[in-house]
A and B are shown apart, each in its own frame.
Chain A
Amino acid sequence: MATQTMVGATPRVSLGFYVWIGILGLLVLQGVYSFLVQTIEGFYVTSLTDTIPWGLYISALVFFIGASAGATVIGLLIHGFGRTDYLPLATRAILVGVVSLASAVLFVMMGVGSIPRAMLMPWFWNNPTSMFTYTSTSYYLFGLLLLGELYYTVKINRGSATARDARIAKWLAISAAPFALMAVHAVTGSLFAVLKARDFWNNPLLPPHFAVAALVTGTAIMLLVIITTAAATKRELVGRETLAHLGGLLGFFITLAGFFDLFDLLVFTYSDKLATNEAWHFLSAAHWPLTAVQVLGYAVGFVILVSGLRRSVPWLAAASVATILAVASYRYNLTTVGVSMPLYPFIEHEHYVPSLVEFSVTLGIVALALLAYTVLTRALPMEEAVPAAGGAPSPRDVGEPLRRPAGDGDRVVPPAEVPAR
């Protein structure tokens, strides 16, 4: 039997790993406690009101939906553009997508008055004129798409995949990109954009803006995944050139997002709507720290990513963190400013600051997402087993057109040819 090498062998479990899991577990528990308080006592334990009914939960939902775009960016790079150097990231990217989407759905559930009814009613009573119907349907479908992708990718990694499986994985990855951009991110933007009662949201640019912001979040998170995985496992997942390439791509997405931000505000300023003054008031007075984080975050990220600094891993990490903070601030400002603007010119502004319960639940869900990602990356094979010279070729066969070998059909590559993990 030929000597075989393995990429991505599971490292030995260290004490730091257990500490990490323990901290996350505690954060999840405190989140569960706050969730129970909110469920039993009612939503009056939050800072939400009848005037400002959407706050931290909806902002977090929008952020995590954007984070799921990482899966589509990496999948498209590998399968659409033949960038095989991103292959070691494929499974992790899908996992980030699955975990982010699940977190987003959890945030939806945190914000509804009755979780059982929210899970049950849409199956029987769907309103075709409601954007909520389309967003929830697109989340379900995107979830199925990602789970399908994860299933076949894990199968490939385990060495039990056929050429047909690899083809399915490829086309799932390719179709996930347009589906996510149009049916998930843009439709989430439409959830806000169609509301004519809210001047700050009622803007046809909002859906594409959401899609671009999702690309920024997803790419920045994937960069952080690469960097933190390398730091934790003392092994680089991808080469420096690939890292710099992904950094450049993030720089391009930030440029696009900045373009949308700029022209969004420019057109809005000239709209002469009453809401214009109100929006400026909120962004500059009550929300100025987050507005500053948004502008500076994008600026710092952009400068690092378009310069030679992006070849330095610490700078790249700094750019990713700055960008993620910028997008999170944008999402929070957009949601809370949009909903805070008074409906009548003669009533007082109401300001929203999330309550301790809301912070606690949000922290709990973020910790749960990190915990799920950490556990699943250890439980599932994250990278494809690479056979030594003379071994069976990978069924994925990326880089070359994936064609069914003549007469080979859907032959399962026997374990003797592809090493088990």
Chain B
Amino acid sequence: MARNGMVIELDRCQGCRACMEACKVENNTPQGNYWMYVFRLEEGEYPDTKVRFMPRPCMHCDNAPCVKVCPVQARFKNENGAVVVDWDKCIGCHYCVVACPYGVNYFNWKDPEKAQYLDWKDRALASVTGGAAPAYQNPDLMGRYGQERRRVAGGGHLKGVIEKCSFCVQRVEQNLPPACVAACPVQALHFGDLDDPNSDVSKTLSRKRSFRLKEELNTQPKVYYVGQSQPGARAHEIEAVKARR
């Protein structure tokens, strides 16, 4: 039983948002849903300013508030410690959204077909895709994923349910790192078993001072930040990507 977590080296991150893109491609998340999000922050006043970046996946808390409050047990932790959602159970009550201190949950506001970035009915697109079926219609991607009953990544999402980063359960089972980790060009993201002293994450944590977001709430997040201090109230977000559809 692994206890998978993530370590993010803030001093390496260059804010390219390749992790956000990789997550979207891997998981076919609807418009406006960012299971991985990178804050671009500016500190100080012009001309004495500093820009920094902070990737924010789901924290996969050991003491997850969303798991506690979900009325129908649609939220649970799998055997690797990832907090995952059973889309077939979720009633879309938003209680997990308001209970989460990190803002990592996203509601599916539209039908999956209408929430695509591409217009799959556009004939011109067929010359590019070779007539491939859109992901939301691909029967191979609509199946249930093992015990999690989570739809396989890239598959059809359901309107009216709440979803979030799953640490790419479908990749981790094949001993692959999550898509965001694999895509990071500067290896700022590390993934592995926090309980294994020889894992990449444990070694990185032992080398550098770390912090976790909102530790005072005792949610025990499994995402650690190293290399820089926590952004404070003097920072403000720039180039925000609006979460709304």
Cβ of B162: which chain A residues have Cβ within 8 Å of it?
113
Task: Tell me if B203 is interfacial: C-beta within 8 Å of chain A.
Answer: no
Taking a contact as CB atoms closer than 8 A, the residue among A42, A53, A344 that contacts B98 in the complex is A53
Asked if residues A42 and B232 are in contact (CB atoms below 8 Å), the reply is no
Establish whether residues B114 and A121, one from each chain, have CB atoms under 8 Å apart when the complex forms: no
Stretch with Cβ within 8 A of A (4 or more), from B65-73, B136-144, B165-173, B188-196: B65-73
Given contacts A130-B70, A344-B103, A347-B240, whether A111 and B110 have CB atoms under 8 Å apart is no
B236 CB within 8 Å of chain A: yes
**Docked CA distance A129–B108 (Å):** 25
The 0/1 profile, CB within 8 Å of A marked 1, for residues 203-245 of chain B is 0000000000000010000000000000111011100100111
Contact check, B114 vs A42: say whether CB atoms are below 8 A apart. yes
Complex: A127 Cα to B41 Cα, angstroms: 38
Q: A113-B162, A197-B217 are in contact. Are A43 and B65 (CB under 8 A)?
A: no
* Residues of A with C-beta under 8 A to B41: 346
Q: When each residue 127-158 of chain A gets 1 if its CB lies under 8 Å from chain B and 0 otherwise, what string results?
A: 10111110010000000000000000000000
Cβ of A196: which chain B residues have Cβ within 8 Å of it?
Answer: 65, 101, 217
Nearest chain B residue, comparing its CB with the CB of A129: B68
Asked if B120 is at the interface (CB within 8 A of a chain A CB), the reply is: no
A348 in the interface, Cβ–Cβ < 8 Å? yes
Are A111 and B94 interface neighbours, CB within 8 A?
A: yes
Using a CB-CB cutoff of 8 Å, which residues 363-400 of chain A contact chain B? none
Query: B103, A343: Cβ atoms under 8 Å?
Result: yes
Asked whether A122 lies within 8 Å of B72 as measured between CB atoms, the reply is yes
Q: How far is the CB of B73 from chain A (nearest CB, A)?
A: 5
Residues of A64-120 contacting chain B, CB below 8 A: 111-114, 117-118
User: Distance (Å) between the CB of B114 and the closest chain A CB?
Assistant: 7
Q: Say whether chain B's binding surface is mostly helix, strand, loop, or mixed.
A: loop
In chain B, positions 141-166 with a C-beta closer than 8 Å to chain A are 159-162
Q: When A114-B160, A195-B99 are in contact, do A346 and B231 touch as well, CB less than 8 Å?
A: yes
Interface of A is mostly: loop
State in angstroms the CA–CA spacing of A44 and B71 once bound together.
24
Contact partner, B92, options A44, A112, A122, A274, Cβ 8 Å: A112
Give the residues in chain A near B93, CB-CB below 8 Å: 111-113, 118, 132
Closest to B107 in A: A50
Shortest distance from the beta carbon of A314 to any chain B beta carbon, whole Å: 42
Q: Would A113 and B243 be within 8 Å (CB), given that A121-B72, A196-B101 are in contact?
A: no
Cβ of B121 to closest chain A Cβ, rounded Å? 18
| Interface residue? B97 (CB, 8 A) | yes
B91 pairs with A50, CB closer than 8 A: no
Does A198 contact B106, Cβ atoms closer than 8 Å?
no
Query: Does A51 lie at the interface of the complex (its beta carbon under 8 Å from any beta carbon of B)?
Result: yes
A125 CB within 8 Å of chain B: yes
Whether, in the assembled complex, A241 has its beta carbon less than 8 Å from a beta carbon of chain B, the answer is: no
- A345 to B32: give the CA distance in the assembly, Å: 22
Q: By the criterion CB–CB under 8 Å, are A274 and B233 in contact?
A: yes
Nearest CB in chain B to that of A201: its residue: B98
Whether, in the assembled complex, A49 has its beta carbon less than 8 Å from a beta carbon of chain B, the answer is yes
Contacts of A347 in B (CB 8 A): 39, 237, 240
The answer for the CA separation of A124 and B151 in the assembled complex, in Å, is 21
Q: With A114-B92, A339-B98 in contact, is A49–B159 under 8 Å at CB?
A: no
Bound-state Cα–Cα, A41 to B74, Å = 24
Q: How far is the CB of A336 from chain B (nearest CB, A)?
A: 12
Contact with A54, one of B39, B90, B94, B111 (Cβ below 8 angstroms): B94
Q: How far is the CA of A198 from the CA of B95 in the complex (A)?
A: 12
Give bound CA distance, A200 to B103, whole Å.
Answer: 16
| CB-based nearest A residue for B238 | A346
From B74, B98, B109, A197 is in contact (CB under 8 Å) with B98
A376 → chain B closest CB, angstroms: 30
Q: Which of B90, B102, B233, B244 contacts A346 (CB 8 A)?
A: B233
Q: Which residue of A lies closest to B231 (CB)?
A: A346
Give CA–CA (A136, B72) in the complex, Å. 12
* B237 CB contact (under 8 Å) in A41, A133, A348: A348
Closest B residue to A42 by beta carbon equals: B110
Q: How close is A291's CB to chain B, nearest CB, in angstroms?
A: 22
Of residues 45 through 98 on chain B, the ones whose CB sits less than 8 Å from some CB of chain A are 65, 68-74, 89-95, 97-98
CB of A233 within 8 Å of the partner chain: no
Q: How far is the CA of A30 from the CA of B243 in the complex (A)?
A: 30
Bound form: Cα–Cα A166–B159 in Å: 50
Cα–Cα distance between A136 and B95 once the two chains are bound (Å): 13
CB of A44 within 8 A of CB of B95, answer: no
Q: List 6 additional A-B contacts (Cβ < 8 Å) besides A113-B94, A113-B160.
A: A113-B91, A118-B91, A121-B74, A127-B71, A198-B98, A339-B98
Q: List 19 A-B contacts (CB under 8 A).
A: A42-B111, A42-B114, A43-B160, A44-B110, A44-B245, A50-B105, A50-B106, A51-B243, A112-B93, A112-B94, A113-B91, A118-B91, A122-B72, A130-B69, A130-B71, A131-B69, A197-B99, A197-B100, A345-B231
Identify the A interface with B (CB < 8 A).
41-44, 49-51, 53-54, 111-114, 117-118, 121-122, 125-127, 129-133, 136, 194-198, 274, 339, 343-348
The 7 closest A-B pairs by CB, nearest first: A113-B92, A113-B160, A197-B101, A132-B71, A53-B94, A44-B109, A118-B91
